[in-house]
Amino acid sequence: MKQVNDLSIETRKDFPLFCRKQDQESNLIYLDHAATSQKPIQVIDALERYYSFQNANVHRGAHQLSAKATQAFEEARDITAKFINAKSSNEIIFTRNATEAINLVAYSWGNSQVKEKDEILITLMEHHSNIVPWQLLAKRSGCTLRYIGLSDTGELDLEDFHKKINKSTKLVALLHVSNTLGTCNPIEEITKIAHSVGALVLLDACQSLAHKKVNVASLNIDFLAGSSHKICGPTGCGFLWGRENILEEMPPFLGGGEMIQDVSLLESSWADLPFKFEAGTPAIGEAIGMAKAITYLESIGLEKISSYEQELTAYLFEKLTNIEDITILGPTPKQQSNRGPLATFYIKGIHSNDISELLDSSNICIRSGHHCCQPLHKYYGVVSTARASLSFTSTKEEIDIFSQELISSIEFIKRNS
């Protein structure tokens, strides 16, 4: 693989966590970016600036402070729309997180469009946020929920997909990049097949938006769920993108202030898009912070980020595959070069929580558990796994230390078991 510039040198200075001195945290190795990303000072400053000098409710007030808050909030919507190449900012609906975005589709679109003989098609590698809402819809509507299987390498079984999609399929809901396997799914191919039978496609883009350019027009999808805290933005904010003509036909998800046009004692009419789906006071500062995070990522360049993280991922796999008794889930970088920048693994005879706790004592943060993918872990016959996930702030030196400490932790557990 071609050597790329070390982005960590350019970017770590922007993250307070990686710049602290004179305490233990200055030596912290954070390898849990797939769970939540660290926040650059540009995002932190944007939040502080809003709450210090722009704090007011949006859309409702006639005073100057409300006008400033509204302008910043709607600019955040415009930035989000351009980030994914949406046709219009009206197609961006701010939510609390990606989970709420998926639930919005499941309740608003699902309740009105899915009937008893219909089918929803998802994959075995889905996060619980893209499983449970469809299970609930299946119980409400009587529709059938079906799962696409996996190949031996942990990639989507396209042959199984071809077998299971049919004229009864109303929706294909799947992730772009797996938070456990690292698998990057062939969305354009899936969308083409889904649309040929009249099905819509919802994409969970939580693990891709911070790592590669995502273009809803070229992917030709119908819905996309995104999360702020995965892309260097604040928690408590996410968004749903949907095709405007589909969103226009969908009934409101939640009722209350902001989402109405007119209210009488017996009935109400709804505001235009996107406000129809944004009941109550939104996470204003958080949306502004998310937009600043998007601007920050774009200033680095998604292509540069992707290239750098691909090189790091290959290096991580090179180190891990030399460890005795390790099993790594999902395709290797050689099998899928555009896979996510993470490695999920388990050690024969050792619980992943023990690995994680020992590494934490050495100031290394990784994730352990089922990563909100219990069906996937049951498929592989394991209770839990450990996961190291990277970002453009990660370094090869951190991977060296992590792999050596992992070996030491395994040896310690074996000696004392």
Pairing of strands 144-148, 364-365: unpaired
pLDDT digits (tens, 9 = 90+) for 215-242: 999 999 999 999 999 999 999 999 999 9
* DSSP 3-state percent helix, strand, coil across the chain (nearest 5): 45, 15, 40
- Residue range 10-31: mean pLDDT, rounded: 82
Q: Phi and psi at residue 363, in whole multiples of 5°?
A: 70, 30
| Reported confidence tier of residue 1, pLDDT bands at 50, 70, 90 | very low
Residues forming the active site: 372
What is the distance between the alpha carbons of residues 108 and 119, in angstroms, rounded to a whole number? 17
For the beta carbon of residue 373, count every other beta carbon within 10 angstroms: 25
120, 129, 162 from 195: Cα distances, Å: 14, 23, 13
pLDDT digits (tens, 9 = 90+) for 324-372: 999 999 999 999 999 999 999 999 999 999 999 999 999 999 999 999 9
Q: Is 336 helix (H, G, I), strand (E, B) or coil?
A: coil
pLDDT digits (tens, 9 = 90+) for 171-204: 999 999 999 999 999 999 999 999 999 999 999 9
pLDDT given for residue 23 in this prediction: 53
Element (H, E) at 389: strand 385-389
pLDDT given for residue 3 in this prediction: 46
Q: Which domains does the chain have, with CATH numbers?
A: 7-30+302-415 (3.90.1150.10), 44-298 (3.40.640.10)
12, 235, 269 from 36: Cα distances, Å: 16, 9, 38
Q: Which amino acid is at 178?
A: S
Percent of the chain predicted with pLDDT > 90: 95
